[in-house]
Amino acid sequence: MTNVQAAVTIMIMAACTVATRALPFVLFGGGKRTPRIVLYLGRTLPYAIIGMLIVYCLRGVRPLTWPHALPELIGLAVTATTYLTSKRTLPAVLGGTIAYMAALRIIV
């Protein structure tokens, strides 16, 4: 990706982010009622999209060949156990990433 393409990609992200934040005020600012399907999607999409993003992050993993996704499994396990015991985001992200980076160097 060239620098111009990167800048355009970022501007698209900026424009679409503003769109999601401003749309309710633009559409329903005059006291009109919000369609139920919009409320429903606004409520359920965040859950679905996070699930999708996990798959997106792991899209390049090849579980059928060596090392059979072992570094990823170790990283995910460390992240999950750290988060579930400490209930804090940052130690979990940091611990999981370090575990993954270490596993990558030891196993592969």
Partner 1 sequence: MTSSKRASIQANIRAALPATVPVLTSYVPLGAAFGVLLASQGYGAGWAAFMSVAVFAGSMQFAGVGLLTSPFDPVSAALLTLMINARHLFYGLAMLERWRDRDSTKPYRVFALTDESFSLYIAHPDPPDGVEPRAFEFWIALLNQCYWVAGSVAGAVIGTAMQSNPRFDPAGIDFSMTALFLVIFLDQWRGGKGRSAALVGLGSALLCLLAFGESWFLIAAMVMIVGVLALLRPAISKRDSERNGESCDA
Binding status of residue 66 toward partner 1 by CB under 8 A: no
Q: Does 107 engage in binding with partner 1 (CB under 8 A)?
A: no
Closest CA to 96 of 36, 105, 80, 88: 80
Q: Is there binding between residue 65 and partner 1 (CB under 8 A)?
A: no
Task: Measure the CA angle with vertex 10, ends 79 and 76; round to 5°.
Answer: 10
Q: Which residues contact 72 (CB under 8 A, 6 or more apart)?
A: 58, 61, 100
3-state secondary structure (DSSP) of residue 105 = helix
Mask for 11-30, x = binds partner 1 (CB under 8 A): xxxx-xxxxxxxxxx--xx-
Indicate whether 41 belongs to the interface with partner 1 (CB under 8 A): yes
Does position 57 interact with partner 1 (CB under 8 A)? The reply is yes
CB of 20 to partner 1, least distance (A): 4
Of the candidate residues 38, 63, 68, 106, the single one contacting partner 1 (CB under 8 A): 38
CB–CB of 79/95 below 8 Å?
yes
CA distance 66 to 16: 40
The residues binding partner 1 (CB under 8 A) are 1-2, 5-14, 16-25, 28-29, 34, 36-60, 71-72, 75-76, 79-80, 83-84, 89-90, 92-94, 96-97, 100-101, 104-105
